[in-house]
A and B are shown apart, each in its own frame.
Chain A
Amino acid sequence: MTLAHHARIWFTSARYSIVRTLMFRGDFFIWALVEVFWMTVNLLMISVIYRHTDSVAGWSKYEMMLLVGTSLLIQRFLMGFFWSSIFEMGRNIRSGHFDFFLAQPGNVMFMATTRKLDPDGLMNSFVAAGVVIYSARQLGLHPGAADIALYALMVACGVIIHYSMLVLCIAPVFWITSAQGIEGSYFTLSEFSRLPREAFRGVANIAFVWILPVVVVSNAPASTLLHGLDLRVVGWLLAITVIWFTLAVIMFHRGLRRYTSASS
């Protein structure tokens, strides 16, 4: 199965998703608004906190906005490209509809996790990018083309890590079938990515900065944009991207072996 083959399948699915969205325009509008509102909630919280203090763990208001904007950007991409597919994967495994993906002409993990595109999530990635650009302007940053390319690469790594985390959160369904509420664990984890790394101390530092990738994912691109290239940070991010993606692939395929379909 070549890359071109999978790209063709992806484009076909994407076209189908977009046509479907155009059929339910009202829904698209409401959901896009929902996401804008939730992003605003996060920004409001920062504005309120910074009304009363100048610095949180050494981060100024607009540095923090840039961090949250980056975290939102990564999450919007995840929502846009993968969320619906992976979320439904849990239900499909439970109900037996997962058979459908096994019969498709492509890698099972690729087919099961990329089938549905959410244009509202993708639209809102522009809003999140707007938050990042606005904050960068307020900070007087003038990143060059290379800086922006590096930032984009790191955001892409972030999306892959979030994708892997989400797959890892859903994959237990292969074993325990009923996994109601398990998706919530992903959202709980993603909350940590809006916090500056310097705020973590002791056990929290070990758990959320070193063991789980949730903090580095957003902090690495944001601090690169703020303070320039630090090879250690880039290397760290690339390494954990590879590790977490590999873990997700292994876990998914282990689970797949357990899949027995649901006969009726």
Chain B
Amino acid sequence: MLATLNKYRAAFSVGLQSNLVYRVNFAIRGFFSFFHLIVVFILWSAAYAGSPAIGGFNFPQTFTYFVALIVVQFMIGAFNEDYQISEEIRSGLINQFLLKPVNYFAYRFSIYLSARLVTGLLILLPVLVTYPLLKDYLVLPTDAWRLALGLPALLMSGLIQFGIAYCFGLVSFWLLEIQGLVILSMAIESVLGGQIFPLDLLPDWLFRLSQYLPYYYQMYFPVAIFTGRLNDPSAALTGLGIQACWVVIILAIGQLLWQRGLRLHTAVGG
């Protein structure tokens, strides 16, 4: 058991080091994300000029949602895990894992964790720098239940994020080029995950439908709990249940793709 843990701790440490090499890139990326916040600020403050409340929320509440979205994105979002997996399959680098007592999913997940540790800490930098400008527009509710339910939601969102990227990466067993497919699904994820607008602003039936899809639990769900867009603890509990189901389903699909894909895989060269 301990030996197994040590194995993936080593993978985590290697991942940490290789991600620290790109710390400046990640920091720049973080600052660019905050540029996006200027667009959000201008657009939504203009929309709020005509009506003090949109969907029952005031401007600071909506703006806080978008800030939290960016922070959470850097903490749990899958950045390029799908490409990395796809690259390893295409180039045959994956063969080395087939010959060693290493679980590929666990190995990849360890690296994902280390990468998010680096980006999650780096995103705090632009938050701190811009805080004096942002603080008048930030409102965070402080109920204890939000932390108790929000943290597990956040962890499961991470699993869903990684799980979806893992599945897309494994599609490379069948298709050589997954880039188009990934960006296509990114468009769907960004809308149904609540990155373009808070999902609660959708027509009611669509909002209710979205709660049964995995995208809702990828990003919107934990952010809504933390920023006060979801105010009913029992609804949040139900959400946690549905989220857990999606985690299991997505991980199962990943496992299935791995087993089926390996049957097709031809290791060429030495």
* A residues in contact (CB < 8 Å) with B: 27, 30-31, 33-34, 37-38, 40-41, 44-45, 48-49, 51-57, 180-181, 184-185, 188, 191-192, 195-196, 198-200, 204
Looking at the complex, which one of B35, B36, B46, B201 makes contact with A48 (CB distance below 8 Å)?
Answer: B201
- The residue in chain B whose Cβ has the minimal distance to the Cβ of A44 is B191
Complex alpha-carbon distance, A101 and B196, angstroms: 40
B106 contacts chain A at the CB level, 8 A cutoff: no
Complex alpha-carbon distance, A31 and B35, angstroms: 27
In contact, A51 and B46 (Cβ under 8 angstroms): no
Residue in B43, B48, B183 with the greatest tally of chain A CB atoms within 10 Å: B43
Residue in B39, B45, B188 with the greatest tally of chain A CB atoms within 10 Å: B39
In contact, A181 and B25 (Cβ under 8 angstroms): yes
- Does more than half of chain A's interface fall in helix, strand or loop, or is it mixed? helix
Looking at the complex, which one of B32, B38, B39, B188 makes contact with A37 (CB distance below 8 Å)?
Answer: B188
Segment at the interface with A among B2-10, B50-58, B151-159? B50-58
B203 contacts chain A at the CB level, 8 A cutoff: yes
Looking at the complex, which one of B45, B180, B191, B196 makes contact with A31 (CB distance below 8 Å)?
Answer: B180
In contact, A191 and B36 (Cβ under 8 angstroms): yes
Contacts A45-B196, A199-B43 known; A33 to B184 CB distance under 8 Å? Answer: yes
Which residues of the partner chain A approach B177 to less than 8 Å between Cβ atoms?
27
From 117 to 151 in chain B, residues with beta carbon under 8 angstroms from any chain A beta carbon are none
In contact, A51 and B35 (Cβ under 8 angstroms): no
In contact, A30 and B184 (Cβ under 8 angstroms): yes
Looking at the complex, which one of A27, A48, A188, A199 makes contact with B202 (CB distance below 8 Å)?
Answer: A48
In contact, B38 and A56 (Cβ under 8 angstroms): no
In contact, A195 and B39 (Cβ under 8 angstroms): yes
Known interface pairs A53-B50, A181-B25, A191-B36; 19 further A-B residue pairs with C-beta atoms within 8 A, sorted by A's residue number: A30-B181, A31-B180, A34-B180, A37-B188, A38-B187, A41-B187, A41-B190, A45-B197, A49-B54, A49-B197, A49-B201, A51-B203, A52-B47, A53-B51, A181-B29, A181-B32, A184-B29, A191-B39, A204-B42
Which residues of the partner chain A approach B196 to less than 8 Å between Cβ atoms?
41, 44-45
Looking at the complex, which one of A44, A52, A199 makes contact with B46 (CB distance below 8 Å)?
Answer: A199
Which residues of the partner chain A approach B54 to less than 8 Å between Cβ atoms?
49, 52-53
Contacts A37-B184, A38-B187 known; A56 to B43 CB distance under 8 Å? Answer: yes
Complex alpha-carbon distance, A198 and B46, angstroms: 9
Which residues of the partner chain A approach B48 to less than 8 Å between Cβ atoms?
53
Which residues of the partner chain A approach B202 to less than 8 Å between Cβ atoms?
48
